[in-house]
Amino acid sequence: MIKEQPLTAARNGNGVKPSKRLAYATSRESTPANIAPSYGHFIGGAFVPSSSGETFETTNPATGEVLSRVATGTPEDVDRAVAAARKAYEKYWQPLSPARRAAYVYRIARAISERSRELAVLETLDNGKPIKESRDFDVPMSSAHFFYYAGWADKLDYAGFGPDPRPLGVAGQVIPWNFPLMMAAWKLAPALAAGNTCVLKPASTTPLSALLLAEIVQQADLPPGVVNVLTGAGSVAGAALVAHPGIDKVAFTGSTEIGKDLQRALAGTGKHLTLELGGKAANIVFDDAPLDQAIEGIVNGIFFNQGEVCCAGSRLLVQESIADLVVEKLKRRLGTLRVGDPLDKNTDLGAINNAAQLEKIQELAEAGEAEGAVRWSPKCVLPSHGYWFPPTVFTNVSPAHRIAREEIFGPVLSVLTFRTPEEAVAKANNTTYGLSAGVWTEKGSRILWMAGQLRAGVVWANSFNRFDPTSPFGGYRESGFGREGGRPGLAAYLDV
């Protein structure tokens, strides 16, 4: 059903003037998120204030509204959290029978499923992503991780890790804002199943779903201190956590820049380290590809989660003979994307998570134009409050342009062309990253050959952005090292 609606002014953007247009009737998610006015850290099984007594705001990026206040983590808070995790490791978690550990991890999985609606709404409010994505992707993928690793916990002796695999001890885990709950699940589930205890620090712009997860951990009755959640700034709480001598393993997901700093800072400390960093994935479309399916894959590859995805298909490499046709079809499809209220179940693209990220996207898009690429966005009217950027496609892109080399982490696609499979491989590998790639072709032999040639941790064939807890995920080169998911994800938390 469609109806006429008055529209608000475009705020950031694509130069489209507000005008009368046909808007789709909305269908808003109405489940309450039950957000408390303030939250402490979750340390030793209880919510406690910061040692400084200070708090900071977390806001809804789609509206600017303050959602809650959370504790500002200090080095003293980190001391407390690490001490709680150490005590829990020695007293409760490590001595516990693996079958009991499995049961606890399973309880967390079940509680996530039971509270899935509430978690989805909370994630959408704090992050800005469309409700259909948090409902159908983030939350189910998070519970799936706990379910999957619960199954490993009592089978470690038979998993081919050698005799008597041991947990590493206390894990310090730092996560980004793009998939806050799912990143927490990717970190906590394998660590707990392997017998480690954890101190998790969510990103400062998206602390709420990790705090709700802490509540779930409390309700699942995990021994106190097995999971601790500490909120605060990366430069203070994050830095103190990874540097803490009581931490045995650092697991970091975030920007390549901070990842490199961590690698330098941890050199010689003997701590285990895994890094999941940035990407600049190529999505490669051959002239024999199933085109309509490929167009959907291109759109999903770069506009899923507003392109704020480390493995986003941000470089479209399309075979020259079909490039014009693909761009034309792509533009037509982008014209149908709905950008706006993230709580509307029909929304395809929500808000950008924070002001700094929006500025980075704007700066790189301007650099793209300045360097001679051609910028295009469909007509769309962006909400007047919050952080917004329209879906954007650049053609006439040269491999030397910044938009072809740098991670934008936003809804911006750079289109490049190739003539031969060899040229496609050379262009795809012409990056300092190596996280993921996509290949679209009907030829099975070509898929296998490409998968062997592409320097990327994941290669999707005739699909993109597909995830499963059983599949290891991770990168090469400046995309980091170590794998999350599957058996390798467990090995990253074991001494074997």
Q: Which of 123, 133, 276, 308 is catalytic?
A: 276
CB of 208 to ligand NAD, least distance (A): 14
Q: In 126-263, at which residue ranges do the beta strands (DSSP E only) sit?
A: 166-167, 170-174, 197-201, 227-229, 249-253
Cβ 93 to ligand NAD, closest distance in Å? 24
Site for ligand NAD, rule CB under 6 A = 174-178, 201, 203-204, 234-235, 238-239, 242, 253-255, 258, 261, 276-279, 310, 407, 409, 435, 475, 479-480
Active site residue 310: yes
Question: β-strands 272-276, 480-481: how paired?
Answer: antiparallel
Q: How many Cα atoms are found within 13 Å in the side-chain-facing hemisphere of 424?
A: 26
Give the residue with the Cβ less far from ligand NAD, 327 or 458: 458
Least distance (Å) between residue 52 CB and ligand NAD: 17
Core vs surface per residue 241-280: b (16+ CB within 10 A) or e: bbbbebbbbbbbbbbbebbeebbeebeeeebbbbbbbbbb
Shortest distance, CB of residue 360 to ligand NAD, whole angstroms? Answer: 9
- Nearest residue relative to ligand NAD (C-beta): 234
Measured from the CB atom, the residue of 242 and 299 that comes closer to ligand NAD is 242
Closest listed residue to residue 175, CA positions, set 49, 275, 50, 40: 275
198 a catalytic residue: no
Nearest to 92 by CA among 227, 187, 215: 227
Give the residue with the Cβ less far from ligand NAD, 242 or 282: 242
Nearer to ligand NAD, 204 or 395 (CB): 204
Q: What are the Cα distances from residue 227, in Å, to 153, 216, 224, 482?
A: 16, 11, 7, 22
From the number of C-beta atoms within 10 Å of its C-beta (0-12, 13-18, 19+), residue 36 rates as middle
The nearer residue to ligand NAD, 197 or 479, going by C-beta atoms, is: 479
Of the listed 198, 310, 311, 380, which one is catalytic? 310
Amino acid of residue 137: F
Judge contact between 282 and 315, C-beta under 8 A: yes
State the minimum distance, in angstroms, from the CB of residue 402 to ligand NAD: 15
The catalytic site residues sit at 276, 310
